[in-house]
Amino acid sequence: MITMKNIIREGNDTLRAEAKKATFPLTDEQLQLAHDMMEFLENSQDPKIAEKYHLRAGVGLAAPQVDVSLQMASVLVPGPEGEAPLFKDTIVNPVIISHSVQGAALSEGEGCLSVDRDVPGYVVRHDRITLRYYDIDGNQHKIRLKNYPAIVCQHEIDHLHGILFYDHIDHEHPFTMESEDLVIE
Catalytic positions, written as ranges: 156
CB of 181 to ligand NB4, least distance (A): 16
Q: Which entry of ligand NB4, Ni ion, none binds 145, CB below 5 to 8 A by partner kind?
A: none
Residue 91 touches Ni ion, criterion: CB under 5 A: no
Q: Using CA atoms, how far apart are residues 108 and 120, in angstroms rounded to an integer?
A: 8
Which is nearer to ligand NB4, 63 or 136 (by Cβ)? 63
Cβ at position 113, least distance to Ni ion in Å: 6
Q: Smallest Cα–Cα separation from 119: which of 109, 105, 127?
A: 109
Residue 45 contact among ligand NB4, Ni ion, none, beta carbon within 5 to 8 Å by kind: ligand NB4
Residues 6+ apart with CB under 8 A from 10: 114, 115, 116, 164
Q: Please state, in angstroms and rounded to a whole number, the distance separating the CA atoms of residues 58 and 75.
A: 9
**Under the rule (CB under 6 A), what is the footprint of ligand NB4?**
45, 57-62, 65, 78, 106, 110-114, 151-152, 155-156, 159
93 makes contact, choosing from Ni ion, ligand NB4, none, with CB < 5 to 8 Å by partner type, with: none
- Shortest distance, CB of residue 104 to ligand NB4, whole angstroms? 11
| CB proximity list for 27: less than 8 A, separation 6 or greater | none
- Residue 25 Cβ vs ligand NB4, minimum distance, rounded to whole Å: 25
Of 37, 59, 106, 112, the one binding Ni ion by CB under 5 A: 112
Nearer to ligand NB4, 26 or 62 (CB): 62
Count Cα neighbours of 110 within 13 Å in the Cβ-side half-sphere. Answer: 27
Residue 121 DSSP label: S
Centre a 10 Å sphere on the Cβ of residue 106 and count the other Cβ atoms it contains.
20
